[in-house]
Structure 1
């Protein structure tokens, strides 16, 4: 059973499998939603890893996520300029690095 305190104890980020458990969905369903860009919380893609910010989970669960006592923030305006759900630019090509013998320094 996930409580607010247990979710906060996860730290800043967690895995997609753990986020699925918190939300009460299966791990495979969470990955299907992530692939379809339909996961209900923000996701961070780092190579082949998918990382879930705990603050996004807490917001999704409608939990007060103000981590600063007294409600003071470092960014007084509080406007978000870029978030984890921002789509990549049209000219973005997602390619994993593969070994190519024509790369300089590969002759060793």
Structure 2
């Protein structure tokens, strides 16, 4: 999988013009593929660069969330001041006198 240099710049937090300057001087921090005038960034190299800054998870820790606390989902009750105006069922509608 690959992405554009502009997208890679955004992920890395640098400007697009800075990314092109680094690519032109062969100083971009990940490997690049040049196809004619296009510059393509392999996602694997980008991920490798980003993952160097974070500690590796333990082998038995396969959770996506680190906290382990329950999150808000469909089974969570809405707040007390939540109004169902849009979905409220009205027993009487105007024009329903038939």
TM-score, structure 2 as length reference: 0.52
- Of residues 22, 26, 42 in structure 1, which corresponds to 2:11? 22
Q: Tell me what 2:25 maps to.
A: 36
Runs of 4+ in 1 over 2 A off after TM superposition: none
- Could you report, residue by residue, the CA deviation over 1:37-81 in whole angstroms, capped at 9, with x for unpaired residues? 000011000000000000000000116xxxxxxxxxxxxxxxxxx
Query: Is 1:51 matched up with 2:49?
Result: no
SS class of match (1:51): strand
Distance 1:34 1:51 in 2: 10
Structure 2, unpaired ranges of 5+: 53-98
**Greater C-alpha Rg:** 2
Distance 1:26 1:44 in 2: 19
CA RMSD of superposed structures (Å): 1.5
Structure 1, unpaired ranges of 5+: 1-11, 64-108
